[in-house]
Amino acid sequence: MKHTRERAVRKRSRGLVALVATTALIGSALAVGAATGPAFAVTTGNGALVYAPPNGSSFNDEGGDATGTAYAKIVALKYSGASNGTLISTFDDARLIKDVSPSTNPTTDTQACLANPALACHQEWPFFRSTDNGATWQKISSINPGLQFPGTPGQEDSTQLDRTAQPFLYELPQAVGTLAAGTLLFTGQVRPADRDNPASVTKLVVYKSTNQGTSWSYLSTVDTGGPAIYDPSPTSTTTTVWEPTLAVDANGGLVTYFSDERQKANGVLQAVSYRRSTDGGLTWGTLANVSAPTDSTHRPGMITVDKLPDGTYIATYEVVNATGYAFSNASPVFFKKSVDGLNWGTTSSLGTPVELADGRGIGSSPTVKWVPAGGPKGMVVVASKWGLDAAGNLDGGQNFFVNYNLGAGPWERLPFAVTFNGPSSITGFAQGIDYSPDGRTLYQATNVENYRPNPSNPSETYLYNDIRVGTVPLNATTYEAEKAALVNTTLVTHGDASNGSKVGNINFSNSTVTFTVKAPTAGSYTVNVRYANGTGATSSHAVSVNGGTATSLSYPPTADWGRYLWAQLTTTLNAGNNTIRFGYSGTYAELDQIQVYQSSTTPAPEFQIKNRNSGKLLEIASAAVTDGAPAGQWGPTANPTQIWQVLPAASGTHQLVNKNSLKLLEIPGAATADGIDAAQWGPTGNATQRWTLTPDSSGFWTIKNANSDKLLEIDSCLTTDGAVAQQWGPTGAACQQWQLVKEGIQ
């Protein structure tokens, strides 16, 4: 799906808004201010403001809403020496800039440029920098492609390629050709102002920066296509190239992936394709496809690719015209895997949809990123514009979808830092995500709706889109409100709530939600609180810790009761179990979850470990805390004895630490025979307390003892509560396969 900013596509965007409005999915706008407080706190306030379009800067000359921005991208530098940790952001800027004199003293004059095509006007890609973890931003540079493709001076015609679209930002993780590691690369689409002219063109161009985005130089043109006309119908004849992104393949080549409409003679309405460079992006090789269905219907597009820790690659993309979805333009997100970033299996295949275990999915303009935190193999994170229910209807969209098994098996939710009304026009389109060099923070860059009065007629409002960046603490331990101790409240099912539920009706003098939080050490902790407040005014709860004096926690209003924001408090916790109680204090808000963390520490990730054969959870029987207590399986009890900390250990192995007892899973006596029952014990340093976790292609793991080389299984593949866990040589049985589950475990 395309969201570009010229006349023809604006008309389509309004059509999408009208269609979604008929399904009652559009909520009211949310006005928020820039984040305040310490740099790590930009989860609150719906993130930090990077850029707000000036009034009139993205005027829509067809009477619809203005747009302002889209395609927010972000890079957290990791290969740039002393600059590591610096954040660089760019986006698609709808402003038209009139040159007072060529290339000097540009002024924003969008309305004048639209009214008079003969004016010398252009668009630019701006770049912003943050050196305080995203709290504040400064513009540092811009790219004006009209300087490389100038056409006829002073006249906008088909040879002047000075309209910009679909930016992508990438930091080279290694040297490629003459480009050093840490070089910033930028790619995007350029086209002329008269984009509807059949003789018009689109070009995919690449720029480089060797000074962390302070200045840019043109590198090359990857490919050229026909006019930038969006027509997804099976009878379309368009030949556009769209949406370039970058990655380095397993053989050290630079690859530009993009959407290609030039293969219609083969029944391919649109393909996601690539060209490869072996000389650092100076020249580009032959065209190849990732996915190119030959049914003249399915239309994959908006591809992004990232490398996984096992050396393989994952690509995500939307599929317009996907069959089997209740909403005709659901644009569900699919993915494919590759051994090297070049070979993607059968190219006519669409791949696999990104879905939760219950069939809920996401749609439109996805971005994929692997991050090293979250699990024994890190996690794959996908951001998209909207959510889809199991039938394929548009349904919210306020969560990343994450996978802890390199893309195999069911996905889970991870709440956005910054939320938006996804079905609204261009809002939330083609987000950017990256992680900090220390792996503790996930950054989300996106465009967020901002309704403002029309300066010429204050009774009218236009939809602009601000660029905002928020952070998700990847080192936090999450506790769900529905798992807390509840008094006089109501559970509310909601697809955008973490784990699918939240707690509402905290409306009475005795209404309380009490979380039991286990802290590894005593000290000061940050608590992020995900809430909904549709009252239209600020609400609050009384919050007490370990029975102490309650303090007030404020909740600024959310757009409606289906929209979430974050509040934050800092508190002192004891080592071990603590209680954090939220109580009614005269106003109304709903609670979804809390995240508890210390900014300078990274605790081991926590999971339930579910047996594939029985569907039951690995636990220490009777929640025992003594050495030698046996391990077995049981149905879910909500006891922390069914939660395991997966702690990295020597030689790529892990220790499995029971959250209730803080003792390690082991094979007693370092025995190597088949049939030895597993148990817990305090740390001994013996290899029998270490395990190798190996994912498979179906979303399950084998858990092999590092001492015996035998697999953890349930004795005799029993399915009953209380059946013991033991070790045995590999049999291929389902009782030797396990699933790691994080969402909603506590």
pLDDT greater than 50 at residue 10: no
pLDDT band at 152 (very low <50, low <70, confident <90, very high): low
- Distance of alpha carbon 455 from alpha carbon 625, whole angstroms: 68
- What six digits make up the tokens of 221? 């043109």
Mean confidence (pLDDT) of the chain? 90
- Distance of alpha carbon 574 from alpha carbon 708, whole angstroms: 38
pLDDT value of residue 62:
39
Four-CA torsion 311, 312, 316, 321, nearest 10 degrees: 170
Mean pLDDT of 724-745: 98
pLDDT tens, position by position, 456-512 = 777 888 888 999 999 999 999 999 999 999 999 999 999 999 999 999 999 999 999
Q: Which amino acid is at 556?
A: P
How many CA atoms lie within 13 Å of 254's alpha carbon, on the beta-carbon side? 33
pLDDT value of residue 602:
92
User: Which range is least confidently modeled, 37-46, 171-180, 608-617, 640-649?
Assistant: 37-46
- What six digits make up the tokens of 726? 């033991």
pLDDT band at 33 (very low <50, low <70, confident <90, very high): very low
The percent helix, strand, coil of the chain (3-state, each to 5) is 10, 45, 50
Largest CA distance in the chain: 85
pLDDT greater than 70 at residue 696: yes
Mean pLDDT of 70-84: 97
User: CA–CA distance from 688 to each of 138, 336, 662, 683, 740 (Å)?
Assistant: 53, 37, 16, 10, 21
- What six digits make up the tokens of 621? 């029987």
* Domain extent listing, the chain: 7-99+111-473, 477-597, 606-741
Contact of 712 with 729, CB cutoff 8 Å: no
Query: Can you spell out the DSSP letters for 414-435?
Result: EE-SS---TTSTTTT-S-EEEE
Outline where 416-483 has alpha helix (H). Answer: none
pLDDT band at 22 (very low <50, low <70, confident <90, very high): very low
User: Which range is least confidently modeled, 112-116, 203-207, 230-234?
Assistant: 112-116
pLDDT greater than 60 at residue 38: no
pLDDT greater than 80 at residue 598: yes
Q: Residue 370's closest CA among 360, 362, 380?
A: 380
Of 148 and 671, more confident:
671
Mean pLDDT of 200-215: 97
Contact of 398 with 431, CB cutoff 8 Å: no
Mean pLDDT of 712-723: 98
- What six digits make up the tokens of 456? 């010429």
pLDDT value of residue 461:
81
User: CA–CA distance from 518 to each of 476, 477, 574, 596, 742 (Å)?
Assistant: 12, 9, 8, 9, 16
Q: For the domain bounded by 606-741, which CATH number is listed? A: 2.80.10.50
Backbone φ and ψ of 660, nearest 5°: -75, -45
Contact of 719 with 614, CB cutoff 8 Å: yes
Backbone φ and ψ of 22, nearest 5°: -70, -20
The pLDDT > 70 percentage for the chain reads 90
Handedness of CA 494, 495, 497, 499 (dihedral sign): positive
Of 195 and 611, more confident:
611
The pLDDT > 90 percentage for the chain reads 81
pTM of the full structure: 0.93
Q: Strand pairing of 512-519 and 457-473?
A: unpaired
Four-CA torsion 556, 385, 258, 185, nearest 10 degrees: 10
Contact of 382 with 363, CB cutoff 8 Å: no
- Distance of alpha carbon 255 from alpha carbon 223, whole angstroms: 12
Compute the radius of gyration of the chain from its Cα atoms. Answer: 26
Mean pLDDT of 569-588: 97
pLDDT tens, position by position, 265-281 = 999 999 999 999 999 99
User: Which range is least confidently modeled, 88-97, 175-184, 481-490, 581-590?
Assistant: 88-97
- In this structure, whether the domain defined by 7-99+111-473 belongs to CATH 1.10.1060.10 is answered with no
pLDDT value of residue 109:
72
pLDDT band at 4 (very low <50, low <70, confident <90, very high): very low
- Distance of alpha carbon 564 from alpha carbon 414, whole angstroms: 13
Mean pLDDT of 110-119: 72
- Distance of alpha carbon 717 from alpha carbon 577, whole angstroms: 35
pLDDT band at 99 (very low <50, low <70, confident <90, very high): low
- In this structure, whether the domain defined by 477-597 belongs to CATH 3.30.565.10 is answered with no
pLDDT value of residue 12:
26
- Distance of alpha carbon 513 from alpha carbon 485, whole angstroms: 6
pLDDT band at 149 (very low <50, low <70, confident <90, very high): confident
- What six digits make up the tokens of 616? 């039951």
Beta-bridge partner residues of 103 = none
pLDDT value of residue 453:
81
Residues in the chain: 746
